[in-house]
Amino acid sequence: MPTIVNAVAATAPDQPLTRTTITRRDVGPHDVRIDIKFAGVCHSDIHTARGEWGPVPYPLVVGHEIAGIVAEVGAEVTRYAVGDRVGVGCMVNSCGECEQCAKGLEQYCLRGNIQTYAGVDADGTITQGGYSQQVVVTEDFVVRIPDGIDLDVAAPLLCAGITTYSPLRHWGAGRGRKVAVVGMGGLGHMAVKLAHAMGAEVTVLSQSLKKQEDGLRLGADDYYATSDPATFERLANTFDLIINTVSAPIDLNAHLSLLAVDGAMVNVGAPPQPLPVQVFSLIPSRRTFAGSAIGSIAETQEMLDFCAEHGVGAEIELITADQVDQAWERVLASDVRYRFVIDVASLA
Ligand code: NAP
Ligand code: ZN
């Protein structure tokens, strides 16, 4: 039987979230039902719920950093059992047949993967995310949270962790490589921890020096304020890789000037506005400007195992389901230290 569970939903771009109930489908042969314990708050939840990325199928339950415990498995599920510690990130399915899915890159599914919320599911219903008590997901889109990581600090790894791990790996962050992270919020603080754990030399480029002590504690070697024009003179032509996690437009050309020859700047931040790039920020030093979306399911598992091995989790502030509106305001004010995580027990 479908199950009715408690959730908090966005109902309009400018209204507080409201408590509601949603229906989770019956567990099919390949499905896993998860009792959600913790749900991370990603800036993408805000962009989406407020209609910044396009029309929203209200009412909508957002949340794509899900950590919980398996409560039920379908008859043909092979990889998970009741009681397992698991996670779900930004996707809950993909076509499984296209060239990208065949390569195991479901995040780049040519027919479009099915997002954890605001996506259209196989049965035509709108997917509803993690700010809720349970979720039902095909086992192929579930990952295992290693025993070494607590579920609350694991939740943000499902989006913030993988979204930074994937480009760091793809562009070869590691020993002898200079990596800069722009913006030290949810994604940015994970980028610092992960790049440091990979052995890279890490610099934070933040709006101010307010969080410098934290940045150095999390593994950065250097920390500079982008509000100080001297930063751009001092660091010109320095970095092999820059990960831009900023949720708003920044001066890309100024940041591109910080790349060494053959360096790459990868945008994971996803502001809705177009960002102008001058070709002459790229041509004279054969620089690359790129984008990157989350990571595949296999890479998400690899990232979780890497985090367990290196003792990496998110820095979190635990909140109740009734505190999400306030938390969103603090995220928008760059006052997040460094990921809000909803204690889903508060939805009971
Ligand atoms: P967040 O916690 O709000 O962090 C963003 C950080 O950017 C802030 O903490 C702040 O850091 C900096 N910042 C904010 N406004 C700024 C401004 N006007 N100018 C300069 N810096 C500013 O957000 P998040 O959850 O990490 O997400 C970041 C972005 O990544 C969002 O756009 C989100 O939608 C996107 N995202 C993309 C993917 C993907 O697959 N590509 C996945 C997840 C999220 P400082 O205070 O240190 O400057
Ligand atoms: Zn996210």
- Give the helix ranges, DSSP H, for 12-114: 43-49, 99-102
Q: Is residue 66 left, alpha or beta, with left meaning phi > 0 and alpha meaning psi from -120 to 50?
A: beta
Residue with tokens 């820095």: 315
Cα(273) to centroid(ligand 1), Å: 14
- Beta-carbon contacts of 104 under 8 Å, excluding residues fewer than 6 positions away, are 296, 297, 298
Residue 63 corresponds to which tokens in the numbers above? 């949340």
Between CA 330 and CA 135 the distance in angstroms is 27
Indicate if ligand 1 lies below 6 Å from the C-beta of 212. no
Pocket probe for ligand 1: among 334, 336, 338, 339, the residue whose CB has the most ligand atoms within 8 Å is 334
Cα(229) to centroid(ligand 2), Å: 31
**Same domain flag for 117 and 129:** yes
**Same domain flag for 211 and 311:** no
Indicate if ligand 1 lies below 6 Å from the C-beta of 187. yes
Distance separating the N- and C-terminal Cα atoms of the chain: 20
Cα(286) to centroid(ligand 2), Å: 31
Pocket probe for ligand 1: among 246, 265, 340, the residue whose CB has the most ligand atoms within 8 Å is 246
Residue 303: per-residue pLDDT: 98
Burial class (CB in 10 A: 0-12, 13-18, 19+), 20: middle
Cα of 152 vs its chain's centroid, Å? 15
**Same domain flag for 109 and 182:** no
**Same domain flag for 149 and 178:** no
**Same domain flag for 83 and 125:** yes
Residue with tokens 């091995």: 309
Cα(142) to centroid(ligand 2), Å: 16
Q: What is the CATH number of the domain that holds 311?
A: 3.90.180.10
Residue 235 corresponds to which tokens in the numbers above? 């660091």
Q: What is the CATH number of the domain that holds 255?
A: 3.40.50.720
**Same domain flag for 133 and 180:** no
**Same domain flag for 241 and 316:** no
**Same domain flag for 103 and 115:** yes
- Report how many helices (DSSP H) and strands (DSSP E) the chain contains, helices first: 10, 17
DSSP 3-state of 20: strand
Domain boundary among 248, 275, 291: 291
Domain boundary among 270, 291, 312: 291
- Beta-carbon contacts of 76 under 8 Å, excluding residues fewer than 6 positions away, are 29, 30
**Same domain flag for 16 and 73:** yes
**Same domain flag for 286 and 320:** no
Question: Could you list the pLDDT tens digit for every one of the 348 residues in the chain?
Answer: 789 999 999 999 999 999 999 999 999 999 999 999 999 999 999 999 999 999 999 999 999 999 999 999 999 999 999 999 999 999 999 999 999 999 999 999 999 999 999 999 999 999 999 999 999 999 999 999 999 999 999 999 999 999 999 999 999 999 999 999 999 999 999 999 999 999 999 999 999 999 999 999 999 999 999 999 999 999 999 999 999 999 999 999 999 999 999 999 999 999 999 999 999 999 999 999 999 999 999 999 999 999 999 999 999 999 999 999 999 999 999 999 999 999 999 999
Comparing CA positions, the residue from 49, 59, 66, 58 lying closest to residue 133 is 66
User: Which residue, judged by its Cα, is nearest atom 13 of ligand 1?
Assistant: 246
Number of domains in the chain: 2
**Same domain flag for 173 and 129:** no
Residue with tokens 């920390």: 223
In ligand 1, the atom with minimum distance to the C-alpha of 44 is 34
Cα(187) to centroid(ligand 1), Å: 7
Residue 1: per-residue pLDDT: 73
Indicate if ligand 1 lies below 6 Å from the C-beta of 44. yes
**Same domain flag for 258 and 311:** no
Between CA 29 and CA 31 the distance in angstroms is 6
Comparing CA positions, the residue from 93, 105, 46 lying closest to residue 299 is 105
Q: Which domain holds residue 201?
A: 161-291
